[in-house]
Amino acid sequence: SSLSSSSSSSSSSSSSSSSAPVAHVPSSRREVAIDTLGDKALSSSPPNWRGPFGGRWRPVDLTSEDWVVYIRIQKTGSQTFWQTMEQSFRGKLWQRRSRCQKGMFCGHKCEDVARKQVEEILASHKGRMAGRDPEPRCKLIFRGHINWYDYTKSFSMHHIPRGNVFFLAFLREPVSRAISEYRHITEGLVAQFGPHTYGAAWDYNFTFFPKLALEKKRAMGTVQKWLECRDCQVGSANRMTRFMAGMSTTGTLHREESTRMFVAAKENLERCALIGLMERYEESMLVLRRTFPAGLGRMGQYTNSPHPKTGFQVEITSEEVQRIRELNDMDIRLYQYASTLFQDRWESMLSQLTPDQESMRFRKRGNSFVLAG
């Protein structure tokens, strides 16, 4: 459908096979807060490409008509990412204040939440917002676990052109992501407070009984039971592909024919202005910064912000790992494709930088990562 995928896909290999990292002479080691002049030069040199991006990296010259939307897939390092966007993205393109609003949260059946978010932002730009915050809001949406379908449907309802919406997505090695989700809902905040304590925070219920001790929940919520739980397959089986394919609202299984779902997910991935990988997080954040020089050109550091844990982790057997691999066959293929696109874009980006810019990386300093040469 027109809502679920782009009308045409672009090949990552053909668009970036000729790109290669530029040779450079290493500069002296230094930490920097900003290097916006170099980013401005990059952002103004190519035409303002609207996508698909395929395997070629392009900086984005945002206009006041553009939207930036983060497809926040569960357990892909999203807590750190959305908090970085909130703290670092300069909103003066859309409003007088520099800092953007946090926005709404949702993790289950999010059509109405996505629509309301878009409506409120549009209303704020027309002077129709009452109350304590009547000013125009950033066209930046990043907080909810909301999939491609819910966002694109909301934009299409308001006749916002596809070329004015820039999507961002992070993926993670699928087996690790699934195991992290299992541990989050049995050991983390979901296990302690339930899936609906903070709104529709999670899209299925597993072993939650409010008066039950956490130890008893652990005994009930084994990996095997989680893998056998039909409702839990929203999270245990191909979550990333389902999120990116966008063939139904967030949190529904919608057993679409697998080939069609995978193709739609690949095409939508190619449309993303940013593809990040949790396993290459520091590099992904550097690509993010370079992709949006107007919004993030001053981002000199970010802080790791993991979800709080209870400190107890169940061991996963090799048989259970194999079952998780079987349930996530499409996610494994999609992650491999995303890894290829990321590497192509990474090399494409490096080839367009000056030697000094090319040497810059986010480097760990305690709980923070600081941009340094």
At 80-115, the pLDDT tens digits run 888 888 888 888 888 777 668 888 888 888 899 999
Average pLDDT over residues 233-250: 91
- Measure the CA–CA gap between 342 and 54, rounded to whole angstroms: 10
Q: Is the pLDDT of residue 333 over 70?
A: yes
Q: Is the pLDDT of residue 143 over 50?
A: yes
pLDDT of residue 106: 86
194 and 238 in contact (C-beta within 8 Å)? no
pLDDT of residue 45: 38
Mean pLDDT lowest among 36-50, 57-71, 97-111, 113-127: 36-50
Cα-Cα-Cα-Cα dihedral sign, residues 127, 133, 137, 140: negative
The length of the chain, given as a count of residues:
373
Q: Beta strands of the chain (E only): which ranges?
A: 67-71, 140-141, 165-171, 274-277, 301-303, 361-365, 368-372
Give the pLDDT band of residue 321 (cuts 50, 70, 90): very high
Cα-Cα-Cα-Cα dihedral sign, residues 359, 360, 365, 367: negative
Give the pair of three-digit tokens for residue 357.
């810019």
pLDDT of residue 29: 32
pLDDT of residue 98: 62
Mean pLDDT lowest among 44-48, 78-82, 332-336: 44-48
Q: Is the pLDDT of residue 291 over 60?
A: yes
CA 53 to chain centre: 16
- Residue 183 CB partners (closer than 8 Å, separation 6+): 309, 313, 314
Give the pair of three-digit tokens for residue 15.
């668009």
Give the pair of three-digit tokens for residue 64.
């006041």
How many alpha carbons fall within 13 Å on the CB side of residue 168? 25
pLDDT of residue 258: 82
pLDDT of residue 296: 82
Buried b vs exposed e over 76-101: b needs ≥16 C-beta within 10 Å? bbbebbbbbbbebbbbebbbeeeebb
Q: Is the pLDDT of residue 231 over 60?
A: yes
pLDDT of residue 200: 59
Give the pLDDT band of residue 12 (cuts 50, 70, 90): very low
Give the pLDDT band of residue 208 (cuts 50, 70, 90): low
The pLDDT mean for the chain works out to: 79
Q: Is the pLDDT of residue 173 over 50?
A: yes
Nearest residue to 238 via CA among 182, 174, 186, 180: 174
- Residue 175 CB partners (closer than 8 Å, separation 6+): 321, 324, 325, 328, 332
Please report, in angstroms and rounded to a whole number, the separation of the first and last CA atoms in the chain.
46
pLDDT of residue 2: 36
- Measure the CA–CA gap between 37 and 353, rounded to whole angstroms: 12
Greater confidence (311 vs 23) lies with: 311
- Going along the chain from its start, the domains and CATH numbers come out as 12-372 (3.40.50.300)
The percent of residues above 90 in pLDDT, for the chain, comes to 39
Q: Is the pLDDT of residue 216 over 80?
A: no
pLDDT of residue 22: 33
181 and 235 in contact (C-beta within 8 Å)? yes
Query: What letter represents residue 54's amino acid?
Result: G
Q: Is the pLDDT of residue 236 over 70?
A: yes
Query: What is the tens place of the pLDDT at every residue in 25-44?
Result: 333 333 333 333 334 333 33
pLDDT of residue 193: 61
Q: Is the pLDDT of residue 50 over 60?
A: yes
Greater confidence (297 vs 339) lies with: 339
Backbone dihedral angles phi then psi of residue 113, each to the nearest 5 degrees = -65, -45
Segment (H or E) for 327: helix 318-327
Q: What is the dihedral of CA 104, 108, 109, 114, to 10 degrees?
A: 20
Mean pLDDT lowest among 122-136, 149-163, 343-357: 122-136
